[in-house]
């Protein structure tokens, strides 16, 4: 029997967000990408490519999502004074938003998650989903997904 070699698949997901702060379940898209590979055992790396977005593994339940948004707003209130928002003191594009609170929220979360793969399936708990956090939207965003294994 010949040894198997590690395989790598790289894909980019596009997420079009529709609110300033939004939480999106991207689990179905990641599952679809995994199903397009022949990998049965390994891992999936999901990486947010923006400084005002984030990722987490948690329950995708409407009331919990509202609690999370409320909690983030309390930790980094948009109306608070932030040095980053002194746009007149730095060189910025003409459409630059005052978004220091969005950066701070993102720093309290993760910008990547790694999910194990066993028998060709994501190893997630019953209530776990891969959540993408928009913290400065609405915008078009990208998420890098790397699937590796055998």
What whole-number distance in Å separates Cα of residue 37 and Cα of residue 34? Answer: 5
Decide if pLDDT at 2 tops 90. no
Domain locations along the chain: 7-79+98-149
Mean pLDDT score, 11-16: 98
Cβ 138 vs Cβ 18: under 8 Å: yes
- Per-residue pLDDT band at 1 (split at 50, 70, 90): low
Element (H, E) at 31: helix 27-35
Rounded mean pLDDT of 132-150? Answer: 98
Cβ burial, residue 53 (10 Å; 0-12/13-18/19+):
buried
- For 7-79+98-149, CATH gives 2.60.120.460
Our separate counts of H helices and E strands in the chain read: 3, 8
Residue 4 scores a pLDDT above 90: no
Residue 74 has pLDDT above 90, yes or no: yes
Q: What is the pLDDT of the chain when averaged over all its residues?
A: 97
Strand-pairing partners, residue 57, are 130
Comparing 3-7, 49-53, 80-84, 114-118, the range with the smallest average pLDDT is 3-7
Best CA proximity match to 147, nearest among 32, 2, 24, 4: 32
Give percent of the chain above pLDDT 90: 97
pLDDT of 81 higher than 80: yes
**DSSP assigned state of 78:** T
Q: What mean pLDDT do residues 121-146 have? A: 98
Q: Which two tokens stand for residue 144?
A: 């890098």
Question: How far is the C-alpha of 116 from the C-alpha of 16, rounded, in Å?
Answer: 26
């Amino acid at each position: 029997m010949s040894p198997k070699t590690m395989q790598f698949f790289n894909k980019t997901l596009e997420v079009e967000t529709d609110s300033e702060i939004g939480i999106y379940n991207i689990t179905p898209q990641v599952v679809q990408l995994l199903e397009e590979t022949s990998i049965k055992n390994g891992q999936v790396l999901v990486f947010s490519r923006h400084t005002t977005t984030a990722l987490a593994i948690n329950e995708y339940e409407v009331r919990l999502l509202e609690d999370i948004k409320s909690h983030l707003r309390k930790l980094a209130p948009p109306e608070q004074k932030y040095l980053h928002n002194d746009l007149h003191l730095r060189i910025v594009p003409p459409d630059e938003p005052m978004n220091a609170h969005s950066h701070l929220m993102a720093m309290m979360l993760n910008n990547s998650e790694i999910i194990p793969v066993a028998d060709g399936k994501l190893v997630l708990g019953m209530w776990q989903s891969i959540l993408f956090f928009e913290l400065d939207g609405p915008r078009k965003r990208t998420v890098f997904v790397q699937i590796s294994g055998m």
